[in-house]
C-alpha cells in the first residue's frame, strides 16, 4: 500500500518538473536563435565564374543566412568595385583604387 501512495505523489511531481523543464528549454531556444545578428557566416562558399573562368560572384552560407559579393571588373578584367549584399538585403559597394596594378586604397561608395 505504501508503494501505491509513493507513486501517486511521484507522478504529479514528475509532471510539474517536466513542464518546468520544457518551459526553460523553450526560453533558452528563443534566446539562442534570435536571427541575423550582424555576424556573417563564411562557409560554405560557392564561386560563380564567367566564360573566361574569372570569378564574378561569391556566395557565402545557405538559406536565410546567405549573403554574396559581386566582383565588378573593368575593361582590363581587373576588379574595380565589390558590391556586397547582406542577408537583410541591404547593400554596400566598395571602390578599389589602383596605382600601377597595385591596390592603393578602398573607398566605400554611398548609395
Residue 27 has pLDDT above 70, yes or no: no
Task: Give which of 34, 33, 77, 86 is closest to 54, Cα–Cα.
Answer: 77
Residues 31-75: pLDDT tens digits? Answer: 555 555 566 776 788 888 888 888 888 888 877 778 888 888 888
Q: Which of 5-14, 24-33, 62-71 has the lowest mean pLDDT?
A: 24-33
pTM (two decimals)? 0.55
Q: Over 7-74, what HEC string results?
A: HHHHHHHHHHHHHHHHHHHHHHHHHHCCCCCCCCCCCCEEEEECCCCCEEEEEECCHHHCEEEEEEEC
Q: Minimal CA–CA distance to 70: which of 20, 62, 80?
A: 80
Amino acid at each position: 500500500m505504501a508503494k501505491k501512495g509513493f507513486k501517486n505523489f511521484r507522478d504529479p511531481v514528475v509532471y510539474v518538473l517536466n513542464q518546468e523543464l520544457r518551459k526553460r528549454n523553450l526560453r533558452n531556444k528563443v534566446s539562442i536563435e534570435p536571427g541575423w545578428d550582424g555576424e556573417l557566416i563564411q562557409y560554405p562558399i560557392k564561386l560563380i565564374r564567367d566564360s573566361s573562368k574569372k570569378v564574378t560572384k561569391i556566395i557565402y552560407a545557405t538559406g536565410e543566412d546567405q549573403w554574396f559579393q559581386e566582383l565588378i571588373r573593368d575593361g582590363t578584367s581587373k576588379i574595380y568595385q565589390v558590391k556586397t549584399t547582406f542577408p537583410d538585403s541591404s547593400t554596400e559597394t566598395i571602390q578599389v583604387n589602383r596605382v600601377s596594378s597595385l591596390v592603393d586604397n578602398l573607398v566605400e561608395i554611398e548609395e
